[in-house]
Amino acid sequence: MRFFRKKKPVPDGVFMKCDGCSEMVYRKNVEERLWVCPECNYHFRITVNDRINMHLDEGSFKEIDAEITTNDPLNFVSGDAYSDKLKSDYEKTGLKEAIVCGEARIEGIEIVFASMDFRFRGGSMGCVVGEKLTRAAELAAEKAYPLVTVSSSGGARMQEGALSLMQMAKTCAALQKLNSLTIPYISVMTHPTTGGVTASWASMGDVILAEPKAMIGFAGRRVIEQTVKEELPEGFQTSEFLLQHGFLDKIVDRKDMKLTLASLIRYLQ
C-alpha cells in the first residue's frame, strides 16, 4: 500500500503575480532584486521610502516641508468627498501628499531629492505637490545642490481644477531659474509617468533617465488613437520606445540607479 503525504498549503503572500509577464514569482526573490521580476525584469512600483533607501546614502535624507497638506480648495465632491479620499490615503500610506522632498547625499554628494509615491492619489499633482517641488528647486538653487527627482504620476489632480494645472507653469519656472544658475537637474521617470507631470517638470531634466518598461506619456494610447485616427506602433509610450526616439537619455535598471546618478552628478558639476 502506498502512502501519500498531504501537501501543505502555501501561505498567502509567498508568491506574487508579475504585472509584466503574468508569471507567478517568488516574492522574496522579487524583494531581494529591489522589487524587480526575475523572469522579465519588470520593475514593480515601489514606495517613496523604498526610493530613499535604494538611491540615497544611508541615513542622509532630511525631509523638508513635511507639514504642508492639501486643504481641498474647491470642496470637491464626486461620490465621496475629495477631503475624505485624502484622509483615506493618509491613513493607508502614512504620507501627507504624493511627493516627499528633502536634502540628502548620493555617494557623499550633497543633493536635493524629490520622489513621488503612486499610492497617494495615483501620484497626481495638485497644489501641494507643485508647491513642494517648487520649493525643492528653490532650495537647490539657494544651496547650489544638484536636484534629483523621481516621478510616478497619473497627471494633474483634477479635483483641484485649474489650480492643479497652474502647478505645471510654477514648477517649470522654478526649474528654469535652476537652469540659469547651471545647477544640474536629473529627472528619473518611473512607471507610470503621465499627464501634466510628463508635460512639465519631469521632462525638464538636464538628463532624463527612466526605469525599464515604464509607461511614459501625456494622453493615453486609446485617446491618441481616437484623436489622430491611426493605430499607434507596438511599444508606444514605453521607456524603450521613447529612448529610441530621443525623448530619454538612458534607461537604467533599479540596481544601477544610485551609481548612475552619482556618476552623472560628478560629470555635470
Domain range summary for the chain, segments of one domain joined by +: 13-44, 45-268
**Average confidence (pLDDT) over 12-27:** 90
Q: In the predicted model, is pLDDT for residue 3 greater than 60?
A: no
Q: Right CATH number for 45-268 from 1.10.10.10, 3.40.50.2000, 3.90.226.10, 3.30.1490.100? A: 3.90.226.10
Confidence of residue 217 (pLDDT cuts 50, 70, 90): very high
**Average confidence (pLDDT) over 167-188:** 98
Give the burial class of 122: count Cβ atoms within 10 A of its Cβ; 0-12 exposed, 13-18 middle, 19 or more buried: middle
Q: How far is CA 260 from CA 107, 117, 250, in A?
A: 10, 21, 10
Q: State pTM to two decimals.
A: 0.93
- Whole-angstrom Cα Rg for the chain: 20
Confidence of residue 11 (pLDDT cuts 50, 70, 90): low
Longest dimension (CA), the chain: 84
What three-state secondary structure class fits 122?
A: helix
Phi, psi of 10 (to 5 degrees): -80, 125
Q: In this predicted structure, what is the pLDDT of residue 159? A: 96
| Helical H segments across 42-189, by residue range | 48-55, 82-93, 127-143, 161-180
